[in-house]
């Protein structure tokens, strides 16, 4: 029997996926956001993906496979893109790190507030500045239509939403960008071979066969949004193979750059791999507040500007 081609694998993945909940609502928000940012003073629009996708093991999901991603990269990058004048569609894993909340404690609600009496609650003086900045920056970004947040949980939701966004952004052409920082599952249980109810325990070890998630980057580049500027990420734990893997991904998926990072040093440095060579981007270690995304987004925005200019000439 001949094996399926890449396009067929992609179609079969979507045909067998459970329907995306609230699709109409998502589309309405997305189209409204794109419309606002494409009329009048046109803004560049970037889709930032963030956090990890889950792989459900049961249709009425009790158990799932997850990954390490905290969403920190996506949240920090989003803040920097907004600062650089972009409108951001933030496609993020529910419950992961949010833009403008990085300097708040893990449990902000309980740690930042104090109850004075039965009716009044106020922010602890030690957190006033951080809370004020988080609330003001987030509200301004949303009110000015610079930030649209769309949550996902499963690999099925993520890929269906990415396709919706890419298709909706098609007409924005070179002024649109995909910055794919989410950690997307490589393996999954196909919906139609998944048990409906909770897997029963008590009958010995569990054997699960995982299928490979079809690679969507090629189709994003060739069909969904061929004119968009596209940045993908490559994570490895073995630094020796990282650059080689990133270089291969660059050639295979024809993205404009691959950001290569190693798990343990990902907050300190990344390498931007592209046809114009490899650039190491580091956090400014002499500035305690500095994060690698400050320098990374500056470089990516610069590259995007060149891409837009070249597309118009």
Residue 295 in the binding site for ligand PAZ (CB under 6 A) = no
Q: Which residues pair with 281 in a beta bridge?
A: 270
Q: C-beta of 178: minimal distance to ligand PAZ in Å?
A: 13
CB closer to ligand PAZ, 51 vs 56: 51
161 vs 181 by CB, closer to ligand PAZ: 181
Q: Tell how strand 277-282 and strand 229-236 pair up.
A: unpaired
Q: Which string of x and - marks every residue 65-104 that binds ligand PAZ (by CB under 6 A)?
A: ----xxxxx-------------------------------
What's the closest the beta carbon of residue 239 comes to ligand PAZ, in angstroms? 14
Residue 72 vs 98, nearer CB to ligand PAZ: 72
Report the residue from 57, 89, 181, 228 that binds ligand PAZ according to the rule CB under 6 A. Answer: 181
Residues 6+ apart with CB under 8 A from 268: 282, 283, 285, 292
Q: Which is nearer to ligand PAZ, 149 or 266 (CB)?
A: 266
Among the listed residues 100, 92, 90, the one whose alpha carbon sits nearest the alpha carbon of residue 140: 100
| # binding residues, ligand PAZ (CB under 6 A) | 13
Least distance from ligand PAZ to the Cβ atom of residue 274, Å? 16
User: Is residue 235 involved in binding ligand PAZ (CB under 6 A)?
Assistant: yes
Q: How far is the CB of 55 from ligand PAZ (least distance, A)?
A: 13
Residue 12 pairs in a beta bridge with: none
The nearest distance, CB 142 to ligand PAZ, in angstroms, is 22
What secondary structure letter does DSSP report for 41?
S
Q: Site mask, ligand PAZ, residues 242-281, x = CB under 6 A?
A: -------------------x----x---------------
7 or 186: CB nearest ligand PAZ: 186
Element holding 187 (H helix, E strand): strand 187-188
Q: Is 49 within 8 Å of 81 (Cβ atoms)? A: no
Could you tell me which residues come within 8 angstroms of residue 114 by beta carbon, excluding any fewer than 6 positions away? Answer: 121, 122, 123, 124
Given the complex with ligand PAZ, which of 9 and 269 has the nearer CB atom?
A: 269
Residue closer to ligand PAZ (CB basis): 53 or 160: 53
Contacts with ligand PAZ in 21-40 (CB under 6 A)?
none
Does residue 292 belong to the site contacting ligand PAZ (CB under 6 A)? Answer: no
| Distance in angstroms (rounded) separating the CA atoms of residues 79 and 293 | 9
Question: What is the C-alpha to C-alpha distance for residues 180 and 185, in angstroms, rounded to an integer?
Answer: 13
Q: Residue 56: in which H helix or E strand, if any?
A: strand 55-56
- The string over 99-122, giving b where at least 16 C-beta atoms fall within 10 Å of a residue's C-beta and e elsewhere, is bbbeebeeebeeebeeeeeeeeee
For residue 74, which of 56, 55, 53, 54 has the smallest C-alpha distance? 53
Distance CA 189, CA 35 (A): 37
178 binds ligand PAZ (CB under 6 A): no
Say whether residue 184 binds ligand PAZ (CB under 6 A).
yes
Q: Can you give the binding site for ligand PAZ, defined by CB under 6 A?
A: 69-73, 181, 183-184, 233-235, 261, 266
């Amino acid at each position: 029997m001949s094996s399926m081609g890449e396009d067929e694998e992609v179609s079969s993945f979507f045909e067998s996926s459970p329907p995306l909940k609230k699709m109409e609502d998502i589309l309405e928000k997305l189209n409204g956001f794109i419309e606002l940012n494409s009329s009048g003073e046109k803004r560049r629009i970037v889709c930032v993906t963030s956090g990890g996708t889950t792989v459900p093991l049961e249709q009425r999901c009790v158990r799932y496979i997850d990954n390490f991603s905290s969403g920190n990269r996506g949240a920090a990058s989003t803040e920097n893109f907004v600062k650089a004048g972009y409108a951001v569609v933030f496609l993020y894993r529910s419950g992961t790190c949010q833009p403008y909340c990085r300097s708040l404690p893990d449990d902000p609600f309980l740690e930042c507030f104090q109850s004075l009496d039965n009716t009044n609650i106020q922010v602890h003086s030690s957190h006033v500045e951080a809370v004020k900045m988080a609330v003001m920056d987030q509200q301004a970004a949303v009110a000015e239509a610079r930030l649209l947040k769309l949550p996902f949980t499963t690999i099925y939701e993520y890929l269906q939403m990415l396709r919706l966004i890419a298709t909706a952004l098609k007409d924005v052409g070179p002024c649109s960008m995909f910055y794919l920082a989410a950690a997307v599952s490589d393996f999954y249980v196909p919906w139609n071979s998944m048990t409906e109810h909770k897997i029963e325990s008590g009958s010995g070890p569990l054997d699960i066969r995982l299928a490979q998630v079809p690679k969507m980057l090629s189709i994003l580049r060739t069909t969904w949004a061929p004119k968009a500027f596209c940045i993908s990420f490559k994570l490895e734990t073995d630094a020796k193979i990282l650059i080689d893997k990133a270089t291969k991904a660059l050639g295979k998926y024809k993205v404009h750059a691959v950001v290569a990072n190693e798990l343990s040093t990902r907050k300190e440095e990344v390498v931007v791999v592209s046809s114009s060579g490899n650039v190491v981007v580091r956090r400014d270690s002499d500035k305690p507040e500095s994060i690698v995304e400050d320098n990374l987004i500056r470089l990516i925005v610069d590259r995007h500007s060149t891409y837009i200019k070249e597309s118009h000439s």
